[in-house]
Amino acid sequence: MGFLHEGHLSLIKQSKKTCDATIVSIFVNPIQFGPSEDFTSYPRDVDRDYKLLESENVDYLFLPSASDIYPKDFQTYITVEYITKKLEGEFRPTHFRGVSTVVLILLNCVQPDYAFFGQKDAQQLAVIRRMVSDFKLDVKIIGCPIVREEDGLAMSSRNIFLSSRERKEALVLHRSLELAKKIISSGERRVSLILSDMTELYTKVPFANLDYIKIVEAHTFEIVDELKTGEEYYILVACRIGKTRLIDNTLIKI
């Protein structure tokens, strides 16, 4: 959605390693924002983005207007059913309908062989993979690792909204994920105990307001109570730091 950072540029770098031509779309998608969310204030700077894309030798920029994507008589939306009902879907009920609809439109417009998405939006990535599989789309979805600041904060366009104090407090997301990995590496498999220790960290951060911490099976996004050997899981967290809502996750294999 623009206001590019190193996380976005990492997707471009991976595309350039994989593909003959790289196309970047920039579109702040109005239908994935709820009525009380930050669509109007979402950071935008197309001139800056354009210069960054030039520096990365991107072949094409696809920059549609809202009326290009959603003409006046637009009335068709895509809903991925089960996976969208929990976690982000619980807190942002219309979000994934907007994501899956716009991604299908963009894929149809561009007709790529590969499409690259960041793991930071892990549930979004799972929704897109489900849609592509269900609709038999001829595109391979590539998930790319989270890119972090030196202190561990996951890169996000919304980080610009954090005050200096909030920026420091936002590190609790990454700290809690690192704590979970440490607990799991010690042999703990009971999810309730892992989440309890993670949640304790947030009680010590004045500006933090947790939406959720969950551990889910990595492919189905089923919420689990116990970790099993040989399986992959996402540890997911969503938290408001002041007025800014941040998400983060880590992928683990037991």
CA distance 212 to 20: 41
Domain ranges, residue 71 = 6-144
- As a whole number of angstroms, the distance between CA 197 and CA 43 comes to 34
Strands (E), the chain: 23-25, 60-62, 114-118, 140-144, 208-217, 232-241, 244-253
Residue owning tokens 């009380």: 36
**Whole-model pTM?**
0.94
pLDDT at 77: 98
Q: What are the catalytic residues?
A: 8
Q: Which of 71, 118, 70, 127 is nearest to 97 (CA)?
A: 127
**Residues 39, 95: contact at Cβ < 8 Å?**
no
Check residue 36 and give its pLDDT: 85
Q: Provide the CATH number for the domain around residue 126.
A: 3.40.50.620
The domain boundary, picked from 93, 111, 144, lies at 144
CATH number for the domain spanning 181: value is 3.30.1300.10
Between CA 160 and CA 153 the distance in angstroms is 12
Residue 149 forms part of a structural domain? no
* Total count of domains within the chain: 2
Residue 1 lies in a domain: no
pLDDT of residue 45: 96
Would you say 232 and 223 are in contact if contact means Cβ atoms under 8 Å apart? no
Mean pLDDT by 10 residues, the chain (254 residues): 96 98 97 92 96 98 97 97 95 96 98 98 97 98 97 96 97 98 98 98 96 96 96 98 97 96
Q: What's the pLDDT at 212?
A: 97
Q: With b meaning 16 or more CB within 10 Å and e meaning fewer, what string describes 92-124?
A: bebbbbbbbbbbbbbbeeeebeebbbbbbbbbb
- In the block, residue with structure tokens 């520096």: 55
Say if residue 10 is in the same domain as residue 79.
yes
